[in-house]
Amino acid sequence: MKYPRKLSSGSNNTVIVISDAEVAKLFIGDTRSEIGSEAEKMQFSNTVNNLVVKFVRLDYNEILQAEMLVMERIHPIDFRAYETEIRQLWLDIFEDELKQLHEAGFVHRDLRRPSNIGGLAFDNVLLTHTGLRLIDVGISALQKQVGDKIFEKYIEIENKEMAAFSEYFRNR
């Protein structure tokens, strides 16, 4: 199906532009991901800080026959145009905010996409003029849902992915 104003078609979902300020992630019939869960995780992270993209609303588009997760639209910029000192500042804030989310019981789990899946390694991390932001909480986890043991394991992995991102972002 061809969608109007398509922004991107990721491995799982298509994202379309709603306006200059909003985009919508489409959930259609057979997608395995669950819109309610994704919305809940996004809203939870939004109560902690601004790192994850802001949830706006859930909607249904009759023409597209699609459930829509409407969210803040991020307009990314390219980090390679900025000197390492500035990149380091953005990284420091990013690391702090990620830690806040972890301490609140949220782990993103998709900073770095597995190498066997195509696309850019860190395409869920977007740089804006006000700093780094995260999108795509599709496989994120809440401590209250997965329990302490699994959560700790996820945090361990996330910290490794954060270190890999930091290396990439400072040196590329």
Binding residues (CB under 6 A) for ligand ADP: these are 7-8, 10-13, 15, 23, 25, 53, 71-74, 123-124, 135-136, 138
> Tokens 């009759």 correspond to what residue?
62
Q: Which partner in ligand ADP, Mg ion, none is near 101 (CB below 5 to 8 A by kind)?
A: none
Annotate 76-126 with three-state secondary structure: CCCHHHCCHHHHHHHHHHHHHHHHHHHHHCEECCCCCCCCCCCCCCCCCEE
Judged by beta carbon, residue 13 or residue 143, the one nearer ligand ADP is: 13
Q: Which partner in Mg ion, ligand ADP, none is near 23 (CB below 5 to 8 A by kind)?
A: ligand ADP
> Tokens 């953005």 correspond to what residue?
90
Judged by beta carbon, residue 88 or residue 134, the one nearer Mg ion is: 134
Q: Which partner in ligand ADP, Mg ion, none is near 95 (CB below 5 to 8 A by kind)?
A: none
Let me know: does 126 contact 74? Beta carbons within 8 Å: yes
Residue number closest to ligand ADP, CB atom: 10
The two three-digit tokens of residue 12, written as one number: 């799982």
Judged by beta carbon, residue 23 or residue 84, the one nearer Mg ion is: 23
Angle at 90 between CA 88 and CA 95, to 5 degrees: 90
Footprint of Mg ion (CB under 5 A): 10, 124, 136
Judged by beta carbon, residue 34 or residue 103, the one nearer ligand ADP is: 34
